[in-house]
Amino acid sequence: SDLKGKVVVLDIWATWCGPCRAMIPHERELVKKMEGRPFVLVSVSADEKKETLTAFLEREPMPWVHWWNGQDGPITTTFR
């Protein structure tokens, strides 16, 4: 319900995915450009362990919404 009425970009990624990590600077630019607008970027992590995502986010600034879904979670499975 927090996302209702907003444009949502869903980014399914993992810390081990090189092309995914290469998109981070572009995603930062997009989030900054869309600041103050009804827009939200939601990154869905397919990392096996939530701790892997948490540790990565502590080192790498990614100021947007993050969901951990795991490799076999419902979102990852649906979009596989």
> Is 35:6 a contact under the CB 8 Å cutoff?
no
* Residue in the block written with tokens 């092309």: 19
Q: What confidence tens digit (pLDDT) does each residue in 20-63 have? A: 999 999 999 999 999 999 999 999 999 999 999 999 999 999 99
pLDDT above 90: residue 71: no
pLDDT above 80: residue 1: yes
pTM, whole model, 2 decimals?
0.86
* Angle formed at CA 33 by CA 30 and CA 39, multiple of 5 degrees: 75
C-alpha 48/C-alpha 36 separation (Å) is 33
> Is 44:10 a contact under the CB 8 Å cutoff?
yes
* Residue in the block written with tokens 């927090």: 2
